């Protein structure tokens, strides 16, 4: 953890922290059922502490029918037996803290599982006490869905229920009905859920679909931004609409203001997944701007930007103009292709991902890496017959499937790469020995060691309070800036580049690829990055 202390606003122990996402199903399995679990994670915490992680975000572990692998919660205050027990959870919190780290759990407030008792009750009758917990509407005049809203995962966002002859809303799967956040009883239920986990000592929440909780109750059609055509993937279709009525409603912020009071009393972090398809940082920044709502908001453009100077420039300059301090970003996640794959794959893709991490880690912001990023892992190819992600299964060509990034972690050579003694729930691909944790842990030239070194440098040298000053501009393929006495530079272009620094800037503290400094001139080879400090 950083040694620097900060002021107020949205600040807290998370300033200067480095986050690590654990996708629990694929991290480490303690009981041989082929699925990662809480005790598996406990057994690897010393590895995360060794790496220099400050903050562990663990994906949902609550009881769930697993239609969306845990993002369909049927009981918010327990642990699914696949993942362990509440006692295992307590043990996880205690161990995380003993090792000097913090634990963020994943709260899923936009929707429940269709098997949650609230929905079972709600569905049973129009007069159910819980009917108003969800969005039920009569069919439109032509008998179809009440409006044109679409699900992120393909098809209409409405499912007709024969029993009561009404439609219910689900922005994701039909097995994930959306809660009605205009209902004060839903609000009260979540107050209790937050308190339940805070009393078990969690350090905060990653809030799933933070942009989506409140809906405009008029439920008008969303305008189309681009014409639809039949070859579009669900993501493309979703992005073709202006989500004027289903996402990013102002009422969301009132909910976070309410939660913020409880979070602050408990010194807990509220980090929202603010996934707006148009990636407008000004909209994302509203969730953190008032300093009494979310402490941090995930901004997704950095996880999708191509390896190309201009889009990268625009992404970071616009983001930092909109919210200079309070954004969070990730190198990869369980929802998207891994960074080395996204950046072209192979040796080049790996080097680019590592160079890009230098940028993500030294810009102002709360950075996360996703399990396996530190090993330079690429996404794997999952054959159609092995696919598990409902997004792939619902959509014929499987092109939007997320399984490739969810393949389990290779710990060491041997049976299932040490992930499990049982058949892993997803294939592990043809990983090589060099990709395993055990091999990289003993090789000081490995990607793992590079990440460890980078984390350490950031913790020791980067003052998270320090102001950023760009030292190159959009017409350059080197993105470079200073923060206090540090220069950070990355070459995203097609050729080697030179950058003039002050003569005293002679000490390269960390580099990726070819980076040399002499006489105050920094020379950066292809896909290289460097952190430079004064040698005086």
Give the span between the Cα atoms of 332 and 23, in whole angstroms.
Answer: 12
Per CB under 6 A, contacts with ligand NOJ among 95-124 are: 108
Decide if 327 contacts 297 (C-beta within 8 A). yes
Give the span between the Cα atoms of 490 and 472, in whole angstroms.
Answer: 11
Q: How far is the CB of 334 from ligand NOJ (least distance, A)?
A: 6
Q: Which residues of 161-193 are buried (b: 16+ CB within 10 A; e: fewer)?
A: beebebbbbbbbbbbbbbbbbbbeebbebbeeb
Decide if 488 contacts 358 (C-beta within 8 A). yes
Question: Is residue 248 at the binding interface for ligand NOJ, with CB under 6 A as the rule?
Answer: no
Q: How far is the CB of 373 from ligand NOJ (least distance, A)?
A: 16
Residue 143 DSSP symbol: S
Q: How far is the CB of 173 from ligand NOJ (least distance, A)?
A: 8
Query: Apex CA 66: angle with CA 65 and CA 67, to 5°?
Result: 95
Contact pattern from residue 267 through residue 286 relative to ligand NOJ, giving x for each residue in contact according to CB under 6 A and a dash for the rest? ------x-------------
Per CB under 6 A, contacts with ligand NOJ among 134-173 are: 172
Q: How far is the CB of 288 from ligand NOJ (least distance, A)?
A: 19
Per CB under 6 A, contacts with ligand NOJ among 442-471 are: none
How many residues bind ligand NOJ, per CB under 6 A?
9
- 265 catalytically annotated: yes
Decide if 193 contacts 276 (C-beta within 8 A). no
Q: How far is the CB of 35 from ligand NOJ (least distance, A)?
A: 16
Decide if 18 contacts 54 (C-beta within 8 A). yes
Per CB under 6 A, contacts with ligand NOJ among 218-247 are: none
From 162, 265, 396, 430, active-site residue:
265
Question: Is residue 208 at the binding interface for ligand NOJ, with CB under 6 A as the rule?
Answer: yes
Question: Is residue 329 at the binding interface for ligand NOJ, with CB under 6 A as the rule?
Answer: no
Q: How far is the CB of 354 from ligand NOJ (least distance, A)?
A: 24
**Sheet with 486-491, edge to edge strand ranges:** 468-470, 478-483, 486-491, 529-533, 507-512
Residue with the CB atom nearest ligand NOJ in the bound state: 71
Of 234 and 364, CB closest to ligand NOJ: 234
Of 108 and 529, CB closest to ligand NOJ: 108
Of 68 and 497, CB closest to ligand NOJ: 68
- 386 catalytically annotated: no
User: Which of 20, 61, 71, 259 is the binder for ligand NOJ (CB under 6 A)?
Assistant: 71
Question: Is residue 335 at the binding interface for ligand NOJ, with CB under 6 A as the rule?
Answer: yes
Contact pattern from residue 410 through residue 429 relative to ligand NOJ, giving x for each residue in contact according to CB under 6 A and a dash for the rest? --------------------
Question: Is residue 209 at the binding interface for ligand NOJ, with CB under 6 A as the rule?
Answer: yes
User: Which of 21, 37, 68, 175 is the binder for ligand NOJ (CB under 6 A)?
Assistant: 68
Decide if 48 contacts 92 (C-beta within 8 A). no
Radius of gyration of the chain from Cα atoms? 23
From 106, 208, 325, 335, active-site residue:
208
The DSSP code sequence of 262-306 is HHHHTT-EEEEE---TT--HHHHHHHHHTSSS-SEEE--HHHH--
Joined together, the tokens standing for residue 520 give 């105050």
Which has the closest alpha carbon to 408: 397, 417, 400, 399? 417
Give the span between the Cα atoms of 175 and 155, in whole angstroms.
Answer: 13
Of 12 and 63, CB closest to ligand NOJ: 63
Decide if 197 contacts 211 (C-beta within 8 A). no
Q: How far is the CB of 84 from ligand NOJ (least distance, A)?
A: 20
Q: Which residues bind ligand NOJ (CB under 6 A)?
A: 68, 71, 108, 172, 208-209, 273, 334-335
Residues with catalytic roles:
208, 265
């Amino acid at each position: 953890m950083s040694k620097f202390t900060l002021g107020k606003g949205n600040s807290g122990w998370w300033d200067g922290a480095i986050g690590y996402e654990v996708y629990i199903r694929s991290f480490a399995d303690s009981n041989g059922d082929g699925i990662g679990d809480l005790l598996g994670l406990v057994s690897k915490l010393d590895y995360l502490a060794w790496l220099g992680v400050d903050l562990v975000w663990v994906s949902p572990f609550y009881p769930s029918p697993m239609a969306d692998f845990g993002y369909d919660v049927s009981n918010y205050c327990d642990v699914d037996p696949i993942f362990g027990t509440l006692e295992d959870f307590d043990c996880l919190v205690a161990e995380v803290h003993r090792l000097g780290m913090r634990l963020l759990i994943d709260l899923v407030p936009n929707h429940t599982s269709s098997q949650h008792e609230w929905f079972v009750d709600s569905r049973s009758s129009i007069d159910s006490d819980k009917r108003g917990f969800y969005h039920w509407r009569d069919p439109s005049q032509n008998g179809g869905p009440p409006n044109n809203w679409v699900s992120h995962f393909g098809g209409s966002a409405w499912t007709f229920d024969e029993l009561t002859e009404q439609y219910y809303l689900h922005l994701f799967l039909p097995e994930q009905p959306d809660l009605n956040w205009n209902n004060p009883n839903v609000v009260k239920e979540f107050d209790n859920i937050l308190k339940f986990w805070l009393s078990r000592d969690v350090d905060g929440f990653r809030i799933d679909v933070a942009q989506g909780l409140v809906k405009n109750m008029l439920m008008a059609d969303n305008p189309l931004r681009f014409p639809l055509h039949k070859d579009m993937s669900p993501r493309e279709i979703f992005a073709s609409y202006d989500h004027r009525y289903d996402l990013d409603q102002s009422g969301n912020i009132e909910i976070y203001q309410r939660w913020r009071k409880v979070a602050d009393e408990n010194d807990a972090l509220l980090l929202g997944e603010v996934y707006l398809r148009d990636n407008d940082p000004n909209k994302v920044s509203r969730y953190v701007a008032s300093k009494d709502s979310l402490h941090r908001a995930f901004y997704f453009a950095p996880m999708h930007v191509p390896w190309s100077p201009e889009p990268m420039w625009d992404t970071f300059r616009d983001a930092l103009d909109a919210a200079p301090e309070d954004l969070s970003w990730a190198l990869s996640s369980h929802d998207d292709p891994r960074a080395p794959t996204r950046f072209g794959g192979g040796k080049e893709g790996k080097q680019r991902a590592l160079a890009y991490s230098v940028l993500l880690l030294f810009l102002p912001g709360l950075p996360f890496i996703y399990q396996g990023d530190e090993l330079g892992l690429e996404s794997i190819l999952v054959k159609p017959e092995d696919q598990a992600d409902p997004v792939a299964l619902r959509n014929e060509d499987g092109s939007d499937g997320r399984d490739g990034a969810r393949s389990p972690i290779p710990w060491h050579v041997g049976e299932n790469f040490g992930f499990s003694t049982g058949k892993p729930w997803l294939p592990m691909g043809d990983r090589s020995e060099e990709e395993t944790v055990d091999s990289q842990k003993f090789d000081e030239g490995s990607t793992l060691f590079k990440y460890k070194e980078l984390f350490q440098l950031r913790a020791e040298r980067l003052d998270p309070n320090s102001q950023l000053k760009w030292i190159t501009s959009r017409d350059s393929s080197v993105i470079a800036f200073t923060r206090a006495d540090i220069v950070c530079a990355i070459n995203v272009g097609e050729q080697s580049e030179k950058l003039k620094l002050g003569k005293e800037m002679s000490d390269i503290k960390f580099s990726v690829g070819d980076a040399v400094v002499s006489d105050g001139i920094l020379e950066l080879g292809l896909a290289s990055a460097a952190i430079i400090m004064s040698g005086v």
